[in-house]
Amino acid sequence: MESLRIHMPREHGPRPDESENTSTESDHSGRVEKRREKTRAVEGLQTSGSLVDDANALFAVMEFDPSGIQEPYGDAFKTGNEPLIAEYFKALNTAIQNAPPLREDLQAYDQARKAFITKMLLEYEERLALQ
């Protein structure tokens, strides 16, 4: 069976080459504060009962475009394929859980995302059980 590769969305881009590192302490502080704002925004999200709507709300807060997610998951978000969306988020939660230790601000952000994803997946599975 082919292993699934899950894109773990984050708001920060690739690491700059060490020789080109021109960031200042104020740049770092600004990124940390923005991440804390996003963490608070994720913590404030409420599930809606719709996996597709919840996923879109999470991606909006994260400022992440799901069209860049590899197939088959990218199309799942476009077409509303809930089983594939659930599979993606289960794998994403596992990736978050297995991530190496991070700075406090990144860890808080990941834990907020994991908590929301877990809640939306539980509601999805409960809805499936009632059908």
- The pLDDT value given to residue 9: 54
Average pLDDT taken over every residue of the chain: 84
pTM score of the predicted model: 0.78
Query: pLDDT by residue (tens digit) across 19-32?
Result: 444 557 777 788 88
Scanning 1-131, the segments in alpha helix (DSSP H) are 25-43, 51-62, 73-79, 82-97, 104-130
CA distance 108 to 52: 24
- Looking at per-residue confidence, does 2 or 24 come out higher? 24
